[in-house]
Amino acid sequence: MTKVYCIGEGLVTPVGSTVKEVLSAAREGRSGRLFDKGGFSGTSFFETIAIEAARKAIQGIEITPRTGLVLSTTKGNVEHIGKADISLAASALNIADAIGITASPIVVSNACISGIAALLQGVRMIRSGEYDEVVVIGAEVHSDFIHSGFDCLKALSPEPCRPFDKDRQGLNLGEAAAAMVLSARKGQWEITDGVIRNDANHISGPSRTGEGCYKCLRYVMEGVNKEDIAFISVHGTATPYNDEMESIALYRAGLSDVPVNALKGIFGHTLGAAGILEAIVSMAAFDSGIVLPTKGFHEMGVTYPVNVSAHERPAKGKLFLKLLSGFGGVNGAMVFRKGGAL
C-alpha cells in the first residue's frame, strides 16, 4: 500500500505561530487558549486563521489540480449564525480559493475527533491515487454558541483544566488552526495507520467500558510493536468521564505502562483543530527527543493505571499514537512513525 507522509505543517495558536514557538510553550507549560482579536477587521476569523495555517504548511509545495483539501472543524463560522451562510462547505470553498486549490474541498465534521477523521480522509485520498497532495486543515474559533453549550452541559472547568488529575473539574475551550500537507513523496513523518470506531452507546457520554476507544487501539496495534511506542498523546479533556474512559481503554489494550500525555492544559480543547494541532506538536516533541509534560496533572484520578507524564521525559521509541474521542460516540486513533522506518 502507498506510504503517506507529512511534508508540511503550519500552526496558528495563541501561544505561538511557528512549530518551534508552540513547542517551547508546551515544554515550559505556558498556556494560551484564546486569541487577542483586537486588530482583526475581516469577515471571518475562522477562515482567516485556517488560511494562515494552510499557507504556512504549503510553503514550497506546488498546488495543482491534483491537490486536495480536507477541512476539519466542528462549528466553523457559527458565531455568525442567523446573519450569514454559515455552512462549513461555504467556508471550505473560501479557504480553497484563498490558497489556490481547485479540487472540490471536503469537510469532515465528526465532533471532537474531526482532526483524526480529516487526516485519515487525507491519507485515504493519497492512497486512492487520485491526489498527489492533500492539505488537511483543522480550525476552531471561540463563540458564545459553543461556550454556552458546554456551559449548560456543566462540562467547563472553573480553573485551568487538569487532565487525569483527581481534582479535575472539566475542560477549557480553546481556539487554534493547524494544517498538514500529506503526500506519497517521502517526508520526515509517516502516517502508517488510522481508524474510527463508534461506542454505539450514548450520544454525549463516553462508553463505560471504553468500547470504541479500545477497538481503535486494538485496530492500530495490529501493525505496531508496543516497544516502539514512544508515547500516546491521549484526548485527555479533563472531564471526569473522558479521562476515566481512556484509562479503561488503555488498560484493556494492554497499554497501561506506555508513557501518556495530554496537551489540553496548554491549548484548551480546540475541538476541530485538536487532532492536527496535537499531532504536529507531538511530532516536534519527538524530534526533540522528549515526551511533553501533562500540564495540570498532579495526582492520579482515574480508576485504571495510566503512565501519565507529569513532567518532561526522554522519548524512546519509533512512533507515537494520537487518540481522540467525541460526541456521537466517536473515537479515533492514528499512528505517526518517524521517517517511516520500520
Partner 1 sequence: MENLITELKLKIIDSLNLDGMTPEDIDDNAPLFGDDGLGLDSIDVLELIVLMEKSYGIRLDSPSKGKEVFRSIAVMAQYIADNRTK
Partner 2 sequence: MKAVSIPSGANLTSLYRELVGNYPKFFKMDTLSKLGFLLTEMLVGDEEGRFTPREDRAVLVFSRNGCLANDLNYAKSMEDFPSPALFVYTLPNIVAGEISIRNKYEGETSAYVLEKYDRPLIDAIVRQAFQDRITRDAIVAWIDCPSDSEWTAMAWIETK
Footprint on this chain of partner 1 (rule: CB under 8 A): 152-154, 202-205
The grid coordinates listed for 265 are: 492544559
Amino acid at site 26? A
Q: How far is the CB of 178 from partner 2 (least distance, A)?
A: 19
By C-beta, is 203 or 342 nearer to partner 1? 203
SS3 65: coil
From the list partner 1, partner 2, none, partner contacted by residue 87 (C-beta under 5 to 8 A by kind):
partner 2
| Cβ closest to partner 1, residue 169 vs residue 307 | 169
94 is a contact residue toward partner 2 (CB under 8 A) = no
* Whole-Å CA distances, 4 to 62, 67, 197: 17, 14, 21
Cα–Cα distance, 222 to 200 (Å, whole number) = 23
81, 100, 102, 186: residue in contact with partner 2 (rule CB under 8 A): 81
| Half-sphere exposure at residue 24, Cβ-oriented, CA atoms within 13 angstroms | 7
Interface stretch with partner 2, choices 33-41, 75-83, 164-172, 241-249 (CB under 8 A):
75-83
CB of 18 to partner 2, least distance (A): 30
Residues 131-160 that bind partner 2 (CB under 8 A): 144-145, 148-149, 151-153
Query: How far is it, in rounded angstroms, from Cα 158 to Cα 259?
Result: 28
Does position 104 interact with partner 2 (CB under 8 A)? The reply is yes
Q: Name which of 305 and 328 has its Cβ closer to partner 1.
A: 328
- Cβ distance to partner 1 smaller for residue 84 or 153: 153
203: β partners? none
Q: Which does 109 bind (CB under 5 to 8 A by kind): partner 2, partner 1, none?
A: partner 2
Q: What does the alpha-carbon distance between residue 199 and residue 325 come to, in Å, rounded to a whole number?
A: 10
Regarding 106 and contact with partner 2 (CB under 8 A), the answer is: yes
* SS3 sequence of 2-23: CCCEEEEEEEEECCECCHHHHH
**Which parts of 168-227 interact with partner 2 (CB under 8 A)?**
195-204, 211-212, 215, 219, 222
Q: Which residues pair with 337 in a beta bridge?
A: 190, 319
Residue 251 CB partners (closer than 8 Å, separation 6+): 304, 305, 306
Q: Which is closer to partner 2, CB of 85 or CB of 227?
A: 85
**Collapsed DSSP state (helix, strand, coil) of residue 333:** strand
HSE (CB half, 13 Å, CA atoms) of 10? 23
| 187 binds, options partner 1, partner 2, none, Cβ within 5 to 8 A by partner type | none
Residues forming contacts to partner 2 in the complex (CB under 8 A) are 74-75, 78, 81-82, 86-90, 92-93, 104-111, 117, 121, 124-125, 127-128, 130, 144-145, 148-149, 151-153, 195-204, 211-212, 215, 219, 222, 326-330
